[in-house]
A and B are shown apart, each in its own frame.
Chain A
Amino acid sequence: MIGTGEPLDFGSYRGKVIYLDFWATWCPPCRKSMPFMMSMRKELGDEGLEVVAISVDEEKEAVNRFLARYPVNFAIAHDPDGDCPQKFEVMAMPSSYLIDRQGRIRYVHLGFRDGDKNEMREKVLDLLEEKP
């Protein structure tokens, strides 16, 4: 995790809906999705949404520079070796995974366009409505 240096522990988010995003500083649509994820976190964080963004940049310095310039309100992890994207079988950049309160991946979204925001929001709201 950027900031704490601790490894990412999905177990600590149990009972919450996770918006997991794979991104990189060199990927323009990823950067474009950042404000959207921030607004989602701000709006729905209290209702049990956690946003976790895993950067796949090879250089940690690039991530730090980006975050210093554009601070975010959600957790950022850094995986320069590509272990995480390999396990999640990431097919595009960015890739977003919606994980329900039971820890199951319920929805995978590839890429990010402005028109995708409503659909993503609807899916997140659906998952939030499900009680654990």
Chain B
Amino acid sequence: MKSVIRILPGQVLAMMVLMFLAGCSVSPWERGNLAREEMLPNPDPALSTMRAHVFESKEAASGGQGGVGGGCGCN
């Protein structure tokens, strides 16, 4: 990591830090897009549950997704 930093010119690094910081602050009144339903970590719980169920059945394996159920596709 240290060598990476060393080869970056100082100004480029400063720019990157500034750009990173600019993205850190979202004013309270600018959160309209963040408040949209599709911005939720899990915007459609029913759909993702169904997909997880199908995935588990096809792969004949469950787990790894935090869900329950066996590989028989019956539950």
11 contacts between A and B (CB under 8 A): A22-B29, A24-B29, A26-B32, A26-B35, A56-B29, A57-B32, A58-B32, A82-B27, A82-B30, A90-B29, A93-B28
How many of chain A's residues have a CB under 8 angstroms from any CB in B?
Answer: 15
B7–chain A nearest beta-carbon distance, Å: 39
Which residues of B are interface residues toward A (Cβ below 8 A)?
Answer: 27-33, 35-36
Chain B residues closer than 8 Å to A91, beta-carbon distance: 28
**Interface of B, helix, strand, loop or mixed by DSSP:** loop
> What chain B residues lie within 8 Å of A56 (beta carbons)?
29-30, 32
Task: List residues of A whose CB falls within 8 A of some B CB.
Answer: 22, 24, 26-27, 56-58, 82, 85-86, 90-93, 95
B28–A26 CB distance below 8 A: no
Collect the chain A residues with CB atoms within 8 Å of residue B36's CB.
26
> What's the minimum C-beta distance from A58 to chain B, rounded to whole angstroms?
5
Q: Complex: how many Å from CA A26 to CA B30? A: 11
With a CB–CB cut-off of 8 A, which chain A residues contact B30? Answer: 56, 82
* Given contact pairs A22-B29, A56-B30, A91-B28, a sample of 16 additional A-B residue pairs in the complex whose CB atoms are under 8 Å apart: A24-B32, A26-B36, A56-B32, A58-B32, A82-B27, A82-B29, A85-B27, A85-B28, A85-B29, A86-B27, A90-B27, A90-B28, A90-B29, A92-B28, A93-B28, A95-B28
